[in-house]
Structure 1
Amino acid sequence: MENEHCFYVLRCADRTYYTGYTNHLTKRVQAHNEGKGAKYTRGRRPVQCIYSERFKTKTEAMRAEYAFKQKTRKQKEQYIKEALEHANTK
């Protein structure tokens, strides 16, 4: 998934979620775990990437990130569950 536009969801050590955009997922997750990522995740390490979704453009990925952030926690969990179930049926 490197060098592609994606939004991703991290589960932090305190069980909260962090959502972001990147074009290099592995490096971004590593940065979060090294304390070099977002301020939000620095005190909530380690983090684990639990979901990511790829897009053709940065704009599409950032729109998806924004839409995801508008959801309630329950809606976020349902979104991830359904997306992963759909991916496993392909």
Structure 2
Amino acid sequence: MAFTVYILECADRSLYIGHTDDLDARMQQHDAGTCGSYTATRRPLTLLHAEAFETRYEALSMERKLKGWSRAKKLAWVRGDWDAVHDLARTAQRKRR
């Protein structure tokens, strides 16, 4: 069974990150506002990115990692812009020093 990490953009331009084993069903829940999550009051939603992982552990690990990233870094990851992801990671490291 595959697990999917997904990024949604909400109507207020915020990003929501989650993981699921059935993306179609989860998207229907988000779109209907029935999943009781962050997105229920922020519809309509746009699916920006979805990526499959072999295990729930891998998907959950990536979800947690992404939730710690800045918006700019998340969007660079969505675009597949690895240079920007790397640069934004270095910028974040410098700010923590």
Q: Which residues of 2 match residues 1-90 of structure 1 at below 5 A? A: 4-82=2-80
Runs of 4+ in 1 over 6 A off after TM superposition: none
Q: CA deviation at 1:38?
A: 4.0
Residue 15 of structure 1 and its aligned partner are, at CA, apart by 1.0
TM-score, structure 1 normalization: 0.83
Question: What is the root-mean-square deviation of aligned Cα atoms in Å?
Answer: 1.3
TM score, norm. by length of structure 2? 0.78
Point out the structure with the larger helix share: 2
CA-CA distance at 1:4 after TM superposition: 2.1
Shift of 1:68: 0.7
Which entry has the higher C-alpha Rg, 1 or 2? 2
Q: 2:43 & 2:57 partners in 1: Cα distance?
A: 28
Q: When the two structures are aligned, how many residues end up with a matched partner?
A: 81
Cα drift, residue 37 of structure 1? 2.0
**In 2, Cα distance between equivalents of 1:75 and 1:50:** 14
Rounded Cα–Cα distance in structure 2 between residues aligned with 1:20 and 1:38:
13
- Which structure carries more strand by proportion? 1
Q: Percent identity?
A: 35
